[in-house]
Amino acid sequence: MNYLLLSTVPKLDPTDYVGFTFFVGCMAMMAASAFFFLSLNQFDKKWRTSVLVSGLITFIAAVHYFYMRDYWAAHSESPTFFRYVDWVLTVPLMCVEFYLILKVAGAKKSLMWKMIVLSVVMLVTGYLGEAVYTDSAQIWGLISGIAYFAIVYEIWLGDASKLAKAAGGAVESSHKILCWFVLVGWAIYPIGYMAGTEGWYSGIFGGMDMDVLYNIADAINKIGFGLVIYNLAVKSSS
Ligand SMILES: *C/C=C(C)/C=C/C=C(C)/C=C/C1=C(C)CCCC1(C)C
């Protein structure tokens, strides 16, 4: 018997929901990536980049999920570092998605950069609160939340929403669905943050598990978001 090899497979407790959602997350992100990549040929050229980016988002997440799954299995500790490296790569790519679908209505690169900068501010301040200056987590969370609302404002009421209206049709309706993802799906993250850090909110969210919330949110926001783009590409290709 090769005990050495067997021992490298982590042992998981059936009530370890964090470990479970990390495992499911790996498979779901991997399957979604294969789905997006293999579908590319069926679309008109101008939609391929958008679907490709959807696949890159789930692929980057898949790789990070493998690391996070192992990190959790080995240390029973939140893989905060990998989590934020994943987000700082994938969330700006989601901002790129907004730009790509609004390009038909004349979206400018400046819109894309504005959203990318806001998303990076949101994530860097979140990281500082969650991993570095944990004693002032609520202040960093607040700054991060302001950047989050600036993104919500931009897509719901700012230039991005005007461009979506101007584009009309399938672009406008897909933009609307993505706006809901950002308003509702992304709102799970600050709840996870409040579950995992200390602050005035600890009495309200303290009983929830940060990693389970983040993992559920990632599945919704990366795979679901990608499917909206996929659907738009299907509808818009001849
Ligand atoms: C695929 C990953 C995504 C879509 C991650 C999104 C992350 C957020 C929207 C995080 C937001 C946060 C706040 C609004 C305040 C507290 C700190 C964060 C970073 C958890």
134-173: pLDDT as tens digits: 999 999 999 999 999 999 999 999 999 999 999 999 999 9
Report whether 172 contacts 210 (CB < 8 A). no
| pLDDT tens-place string over residues 178-236 | 999 999 999 999 999 999 999 999 999 989 999 999 999 999 999 999 999 999 999 99
Instruction: Please state whether the predicted TM-score (pTM) of the whole model is above 0.75.
Output: yes
- Please give the average per-residue pLDDT across 28-55, as a whole number: 97
Atom of ligand 1 nearest to the CA of 221: 4
Q: Is 91 in the pocket of ligand 1 (CB under 6 A)?
A: yes
- Residue 39 CA to ligand 1 center (angstroms) comes to 29
On average, the pLDDT of the chain sits at 95
pLDDT of residue 14: 86
pLDDT the model gives residue 9: 74
Nearest residue by C-alpha to atom 18 in ligand 1: 126
Q: Right CATH number for 15-237 from 3.90.1170.30, 3.40.640.10, 2.60.34.10, 1.20.1070.10?
A: 1.20.1070.10
Residue 3 is predicted with a pLDDT of 60
Tell which wins on pLDDT, 12 or 34. 34
- For the chain, the domains span 15-237
Amino acid at 186: W
Query: Which ligand 1 atom lies nearest to the CA of residue 218?
Result: 1
Does the Cβ of 97 fall within 6 Å of ligand 1? Answer: no
Q: Is the CB of 95 under 6 A from ligand 1?
A: no
Residue 8 pLDDT exceeds 90? no
Nearest to 200 by CA among 123, 130, 142: 142
Phi first, then psi: give them for residue 209, nearest 5 degrees.
Answer: -100, 120
